[in-house]
Amino acid sequence: MSILAIGSIAFDTITSPFGTAERVLGGSCTYFSLAASYFTNVRVVAVVGEDFTPQNEAILKRRGIDTQGIQREKGKTFFWAGQYGENVNEAKTLTTELNVFEQFNPQIPSGYSDTEFLFLGNIHPTLQAHVRRQLNGARLVGGDTMNYWIDRTRDELVQTLKLIDVLLINDGEAKMLARETNLPRAANKVLAMGPRALVIKHGEYGATIFFREGAFGIGRHPFRAPTLPIEEVRDPTGAGDSFAGGFMGYIASQDELTREVLKRALFYGGVMGSFAVERFGTERLQNLSREEIESRFQLFRELTHLA
Amino acid sequence: MSILAIGSIAFDTITSPFGTAERVLGGSCTYFSLAASYFTNVRVVAVVGEDFTPQNEAILKRRGIDTQGIQREKGKTFFWAGQYGENVNEAKTLTTELNVFEQFNPQIPSGYSDTEFLFLGNIHPTLQAHVRRQLNGARLVGGDTMNYWIDRTRDELVQTLKLIDVLLINDGEAKMLARETNLPRAANKVLAMGPRALVIKHGEYGATIFFREGAFGIGRHPFRAPTLPIEEVRDPTGAGDSFAGGFMGYIASQDELTREVLKRALFYGGVMGSFAVERFGTERLQNLSREEIESRFQLFRELTHLA
């Protein structure tokens, strides 16, 4: 089955203690698509400017990603420059130039109307809802958001959450959205807003999925997946988007939507996030093999499973 | 087999959003001993003042803890007062009165010389080393420390680490001790200082155990155990000590010192820590049943294990 991803394509200039990468292809949609492409067919809807080259597009095409939903506008592509210090968990943003992304108005190609799996990347919640309503046949809708939208467009976001099956956010975003400092209580409050499941990403500590009573299975026990302790985190940019790509991509590759599938998907999310940070930009996500992915999945299992 | 715990006994006055507990029995040795007492016989070496009553001692005795190593000195018992805000992960210390603990000079009763498992609580590293050398027959020595000793007595601590088999510290302490911000690299540096295994506690995210190559088994893959997402953390005081008690107590209850035993011990550590925070002080640790503990162990397994 195929998954449709909506989000940003950007050029990133990234500096970390390991070096600098100049104007490499980035953006949430890019990381998500590359990560998901190892599991299923991926279609993207995003916007780029005149500086987006055939060589840039080839990075996606080489992974079999369907790029006909990429909209080309006059002007420049979204540009971000950031710096990581010794503590790579904290990015310092040096430059954000939204450029063509500021007026992004996602158009769904008619051939995409059969989309079964949809991922609504981190864009204005009203745009997310607009896309969601055009794809009413979707079996599962994943979504992302961020502090900016929680703070400035809370009402719109709360409406959009009713249209999302699985929301993927981090600890700080969950607490901010729920206005609650205790994480499981925050999770319950977010689930009451609409999603059937909530994935909370804990950075280097992994992620937890919380379920609404009875969603995808019986009961409401949460489930936690780890990330691998990585000794050389060269560039954490895109780790969360790669996590989402592995998570949603694996789900889209399965016939059934069971709780066990979502649990394994949480592991695959961590696996793809752990690969992403090993190299600058999307370099590591461009040339993986399914064997490397399965081997790391096995490492994650050994990291957490008792005999 | 029995375990000997050295550390502090204190009176704590604790305030959290859930209420206040006045002068309840606390201290690292108290939490550790109570948690360990569900797995094995526990002996304690600690110091108390004249305000320590038979009723206080009875809390330990009811759990079968051998209290003959408790030294009684003129003056008052260690007193701590602290406050937790909405974010219960951060304690604000209101008062610390070391009292008799300031001159604590641990004396090992002669009957304890057959001790096989030893836990060196958070005291001056030179005192830890002194106790360790008196108990050379110990099969396994666990140890704790804190920022205060890492900062002020680094040289002494580095010497003591050569005498400890398993060090249990938190993320911040590990990074400070190793002078390294990346956690797995910090772990490698700490292991190079002496311990065969290092448990790094991640607070609400669980804990990871790192092994020296070949220690307790083959290879050096780390292992991670979760904590349960707890909706009502009433009082996080003693969570880390209860973790250590569950971890060391389980190990002492087993015949073999294998890696699988240490992995299960990491789960039991999380289990005992998760119980401790549900009530003020040691209340929850005083009246558990082995069935409740096994049932929560099972919950932890379901939280993390794929089918």
The pLDDT of residue A97 is 96
Which of A204, A274, A306 to mutate to test binding with chain B, by most B CBs within 10 Å of its CB?
Answer: A306
Assess A88–B contact: CB distance below 8 Å, yes or no. Answer: yes
Above 0.90 for ipTM, yes or no? yes
Q: Which of A187, A230, A306 shows the shortest C-beta gap to B301?
A: A306
Residue B289 exposed, middle or buried by CB count within 10 Å (0-12, 13-18, 19+): exposed
Tokens, residue B14: 């604790």
The pLDDT of residue A307 is 93
The pLDDT of residue A90 is 77
CA-angle at A36, arms to A33 and A40, nearest 5°? 115
With a cut of 90, say whether residue B41 has pLDDT above it.
yes
With a CB cutoff of 8 Å and minimum separation 6, the contacts of A171 are A183, A200, A201, A202, A203
Distance between CA atoms of residues B175 and B182, nearest Å: 7
The pLDDT of residue A173 is 97
Residues 176-235 of chain A whose Cβ lies under 8 A from any Cβ of chain B: 181-185, 187-188, 202, 204-206, 208, 210, 221-226, 229-233
Contact residues on chain B for A187, CB-CB shorter than 8 A? 229
Contact residues on chain B for A260, CB-CB shorter than 8 A? 306-307
pLDDT, tens digit, 9 for 90 and up, residues A145-191: 999 999 999 999 999 999 999 999 999 999 999 999 999 999 999 99
How much is the average pLDDT of A228-255?
95
pLDDT, tens digit, 9 for 90 and up, residues B50-99: 999 999 999 999 999 999 999 999 999 999 999 998 777 778 999 999 99
Strands B197-201 and B207-211: antiparallel
Distance between CA atoms of residues B228 and B218, nearest Å: 29
Residues 89-128 of chain A whose Cβ lies under 8 A from any Cβ of chain B: none
Q: Tell me the C-alpha to C-alpha distance, in Å, between residue B241 and each of A265, B16, B248, B249, B270.
A: 34, 19, 10, 12, 11
Shortest CA distance to A95 belongs to which of A15, A8, A9? Answer: A15
Q: Are B31 and B17 in contact (CB under 8 A)?
A: no
Contact residues on chain B for A224, CB-CB shorter than 8 A? 206, 226, 303-304
CA-angle at A229, arms to A9 and B31, nearest 5°? 130
Q: Which of B222, B229, B302 shows the shortest C-beta gap to A229?
A: B222
With a cut of 80, say whether residue A290 has pLDDT above it.
yes
pLDDT, tens digit, 9 for 90 and up, residues A267-280: 999 999 999 999 99
With a cut of 80, say whether residue B304 has pLDDT above it.
yes
Q: Note the pTM of the prediction, 2 decimals.
A: 0.95
The pLDDT of residue A85 is 87
Distance between CA atoms of residues A254 and A24, nearest Å: 32
Contact residues on chain B for A202, CB-CB shorter than 8 A? 205
Q: Which of A183, A210, A303 shows the shortest C-beta gap to B204?
A: A183
Tokens, residue A61: 């095409």
Query: Residue B182 and residue A88: Cβ atoms within 8 Å?
Result: yes
Q: Which of B208, B222, B305 shows the shortest C-beta gap to A305?
A: B305
Distance between CA atoms of residues B233 and A98, nearest Å: 42
pLDDT, tens digit, 9 for 90 and up, residues A45-84: 999 999 999 999 999 999 999 999 999 999 999 999 999 9
Tokens, residue A147: 């502090």
Give me chain A's average pLDDT, please: 96
With a CB cutoff of 8 Å and minimum separation 6, the contacts of A249 are A3, A35, A36, A37, A38, A39, A40, A42, A268, A272
Q: Are A275 and A242 in contact (CB under 8 A)?
A: yes
pLDDT, tens digit, 9 for 90 and up, residues B190-221: 999 999 999 999 999 999 999 999 999 988 89
pLDDT, tens digit, 9 for 90 and up, residues B215-272: 999 888 999 999 988 888 999 999 999 999 999 999 999 999 999 999 999 999 999 9
Query: Residue B301 and residue A304: Cβ atoms within 8 Å?
Result: no
Query: Residue B223 and residue A187: Cβ atoms within 8 Å?
Result: no
Tokens, residue B148: 């205060």
Q: Confidence class of residue B4 from pLDDT cuts 50, 70 and 90? A: very high
How much is the average pLDDT of A208-235?
92
Distance between CA atoms of residues A33 and A127, nearest Å: 19
How much is the average pLDDT of A247-267?
97
Residue type, A16: S
pLDDT above 70 covers what percent of chain B? 100
Q: Are B280 and B24 in contact (CB under 8 A)?
A: yes
Residue of B nearest to A209 (CA): B303
Contact residues on chain A for B304, CB-CB shorter than 8 A? 223-225, 304-305
Q: Which of A187, A188, A303 shows the shortest C-beta gap to B223?
A: A303
Residue A211 exposed, middle or buried by CB count within 10 Å (0-12, 13-18, 19+): buried
Inter-axis angle of helices A239-252 and A259-276, to 10 degrees? 140
Shortest CA distance to B32 belongs to which of B297, B287, B272? Answer: B272
The pLDDT of residue B1 is 78
Contact residues on chain B for A301, CB-CB shorter than 8 A? 306
Which range is least confidently modeled, A227-236, B121-130, B273-282? A227-236
Contact residues on chain B for A230, CB-CB shorter than 8 A? 184
Residues 263-302 of chain B whose Cβ lies under 8 A from any Cβ of chain A: 263-264, 267, 299, 301-302
Residue type, A171: D
What is the least distance, in Å, from the CA of A186 to any CA of chain B? 9
Query: Residue B303 and residue A224: Cβ atoms within 8 Å?
Result: yes
Q: Which of B188, B223, B229 shows the shortest C-beta gap to A184?
A: B229
Q: Are B275 and B296 in contact (CB under 8 A)?
A: yes
